[in-house]
Structure 1
Amino acid sequence: MAPLFKNLCSVSLWITIIPLFGFLCDGGKILVVPLEGSHWLNMDILIKALHGKGHSIDVIRNTNSWYVKEKSDYYNSITIPQSKGMDEEFVDDMISKVINHERGKSSWLSTVKLFFDSVIDNYEMTKMVCDITTSIFESEEILKTLQEKQYDLMLTDPVWGMGIILAHKLKLPMVYNVRWTTTVDGHFNIAPSPMSYIPITGSGNTDRMSFFQRVKNIIFYFTNDIKYSRFSLPQYQAICDKYFDPPVDFYQLLQGADIWLMRVDFVFEFPRPTMPNIIYTGGFQCTPAKPLPHDLEDFMQSSGDHGVIVMSLGTFISALPEDVTAEIAAAFARLPQKVIWRYTGKKPSTLGNNTLLVDWMPQKDLLGHPKTKVFVAHGGTNGVQEALYHGVPVVGIPFFFDQYDNLIRLQARGGAKIVSLAELGENSLHAAIKEVINNPSYRLTMQKLSQLHLDKPVKPLDSAIFWIEFVMRHKGAAHLRTESYKMPWYSYHSVDVAVTLIAVVLIFIFSIFYVVRYVCIKCCSRKRKTE
Structure 2
Amino acid sequence: MTPFSQNMVSVSLWITVTILFGSLCDGGKILVVPVEGSHWMNMDMLIKTLHGQGHSIDVIRTYNSWFVKENSTYYNSITIPNTTGMDEEFVDDMLSKLFDQERGKRYWLNAVWLYFDMISNMYKLHKMVCQLITNMFESEEIMKALHENQYDLMLTDPAWGAGIFLAHELKLPMVYNVRWTTTGEGHFDITPSLMSYIPVTGSGNSDKMNFFQRVKNFFYYFHMNFQYSYFNLPQYQALCDKYFHPPVRFHQLLQGADIWLMRVDFVFEIPRPTMPNIIYIGGFQCKPAKALPQDLEDFMQSSGEHGVIVMSLGAFIGDLPDDFTAEIAAAFAQLPQKVIWRYTGKRPSTLGNNTLLVDWMPQNDLLGHPKTKVFIAHGGTNGVQEALYHGIPLVGIPFLFDQYDNLIRLQERGGAKIVTIATLDKKTLHAAIQEVINEPSYRLSMQRLSHLHKDKPVKPFDSALFWIEFVMRHKGAAHLRTESYKLPWYSYYSVDVAVTLFAVVLIFTLSIFLAVRYLCVKCCCRKRKTE
Shorter-chain TM-score category?
over 0.9
| Structure 1 counterpart of 2:49 | 49
Spell out the pairing of 1:83-482 with structure 2 (5 A cutoff).
83-104=83-104, 109-482=109-482
Partner deviation per Cα, 1:464-499 (whole Å, 9 max, x = no partner): 000000000000000000000000000000001111
Task: Quote the offset at 1:410 in angstroms.
Answer: 0.3
Amino acid at match of 1:43: M
Deviation string for 1:391-446 (max 9, x for gaps)? 00000000010000100100010000000111011100000000000000000000
**Matched residue, 2:11:** none
The match for 2:7 is none
What is the letter of the counterpart of residue 155 of structure 2? L
Number of the residue aligned with 1:517: 517
Q: Deviations over 1:190-242 (max 9, x none)?
A: 10000100000100000000000000000000111111111111111111111
Alpha-carbon offset, residue 523 of structure 1: 1.2
Match of 1:68 in 2: 68
CA distance in structure 2 between the aligned counterparts of 1:326 and 1:108, rounded to whole angstroms: 26
Report the alpha carbon displacement of residue 107 of structure 1 after superposing the two structures with TM: 6.0
User: Cα–Cα, structure 1 residues 303 and 113, in superposed 2: closer, same or farther, change >3 Å?
Assistant: same
Contact 1:261 1:280 in 2 (8 A): yes
1:243 aligned partner, one-letter code: Y
Q: State the 1:513 CA deviation.
A: 1.0
SS in 1 for 2:304: coil
The percentage of counterpart residues that share the same residue type is 78
Give me the whole-angstrom Cα distance separating, in 1, the residues matched to 2:22 and 2:304: 54
Q: In structure 2, do the counterparts of structure 1 residues 206 and 106 end up closer, same or farther at CA, with 3 Å as the change threshold? A: farther
**Aligned 8 A contact 1:177 1:261 in 2:** yes
2:269 aligned partner, one-letter code: E
Q: What is the match of residue 13 of structure 1?
A: none
Aligned match of 1:485: 485
What does residue 4 of structure 1 align with? Answer: none
SS of the aligned residue for 2:59 comes to strand
Q: Which moved more, 1:433-442 or 1:20-29?
A: 20-29
Q: Which amino acid aligns with 1:441?
A: S
> In 1, distance between residues paired with 2:165 and 2:197?
33
Q: Is the 8 A contact 1:310 1:340 kept in 2?
A: yes
Question: Does 504-513 or 100-109 show the bigger shift?
Answer: 100-109
Aligned partner of 1:504: which letter? V
Retained in 1: the 8 A contact 2:25–2:469?
no
Amino acid at match of 1:145: A
Distance 2:287 2:468 in 1: 20
Cα distance in 2 for partners of 1:250, 1:241 equals 9
- Determine helix, strand or coil for the equivalent of 2:457: coil
**Take 2:252 and 2:521, find their aligned partners in 1: how far apart are those partners?**
57
Q: Which amino acid aligns with 1:134?
A: T
**In 2, distance between residues paired with 1:222 and 1:109?**
21
Which amino acid in 1 is paired with 2:508?
F
Match of 1:8 in 2: none
- Residue of structure 2 equivalent to 1:505: 505
Matches within 5 A, 1:4-83: 24=24, 26-83=26-83
Could you say if the C-alpha distance between residues 430 and 133 of structure 1 is closer, same or farther in structure 2, counting changes exceeding 3 Å? same
Q: Is the 8 A contact 1:31 1:58 kept in 2?
A: yes
Does the aligned pair in 1 maintain the 2:265–2:280 contact within 8 Å?
yes
Structure 1 segments, 4+ long, off by >4 Å, are 20-23, 105-108
Aligned residue type for 2:386: E
How far is 1:264 from its partner? 0.2
Give the 3-state SS of the residue equivalent to 1:316 in structure 2: coil
Q: Provide the rounded CA distance (Å) in 2 between the counterparts of 1:97 and 1:224.
A: 20
Q: Deviations over 1:375-394 (max 9, x none)?
A: 00000000000000000000
CA distance in 1, matches of 2:188, 2:340: 38
Residue type of the partner of 1:100?
A: D
Q: Offset of 1:512 from its aligned partner?
A: 1.1
The structural deviation recorded for 1:112 is 1.6
Deviation at 1:109, TM superposition (A): 2.9
CA contact (8 A) 1:407 1:416 kept: yes
C-alpha distance 511-62 of structure 1, shift in aligned 2 (>3 A): same
CA shift in 2, pair 1:23/1:333, >3 Å: closer
1:22 is displaced (CA, Å) by 9.6
Please tell me whether the aligned partners of residues 174 and 476 of structure 1 are also in contact (alpha carbons under 8 angstroms). Answer: yes
Give the alignment's TM-score, normalised by structure 1.
0.95
Q: Distance in 1 between matches of 2:231 and 2:49?
A: 36
Q: Which moved more, 1:357-366 or 1:66-75?
A: 66-75
Q: When the two structures are aligned, how many residues end up with a matched partner? A: 513
**What is the distance in 2 between the residues matched to 1:473 and 1:21?**
17
- 1:98 Cα deviation from its structure 2 partner: 1.1
Give the letter for the 1:74 counterpart: Y
Where does the alignment leave 5 or more consecutive residues of structure 1 unmatched?
A: 1-16
Corresponding residue SS for 1:287: coil
Residue 68 of structure 1 and its aligned partner are, at CA, apart by 0.3
Q: How far, CA to CA, are the matches of 1:22 and 1:426 in structure 2?
A: 53
Q: Deviations over 1:269-291 (max 9, x none)?
A: 00000000000000000010000
Task: Report the more deviating stretch, 260-269 or 101-110.
Answer: 101-110
Distance (whole Å) between structure 1 residues aligned to residue 447 and residue 51 of structure 2 = 33
The CA deviation string for residues 105-143 of structure 1, in whole angstroms up to 9 with x for no partner, is: 676632121111111101100010111111110111011
In 2, Cα distance between the equivalents of 1:377 and 1:228? 29
C-alpha separation between the residues in 2 aligned to 1:284 and 1:390? 13
TM-score by length of structure 2 reads: 0.95
Q: SS at 1:305's partner residue?
A: helix
Whole-Å Cα distance in 2 between the matches of residues 93 and 261 of structure 1?
A: 31
CA–CA distance in structure 2, aligned partners of residues 146 and 128 of structure 1: 21
Q: CA RMSD in A?
A: 1.3
Distance 2:203 2:105 in 1: 20
Q: Say whether the 8 Å CA contact 1:25–1:54 is kept in structure 2.
A: no
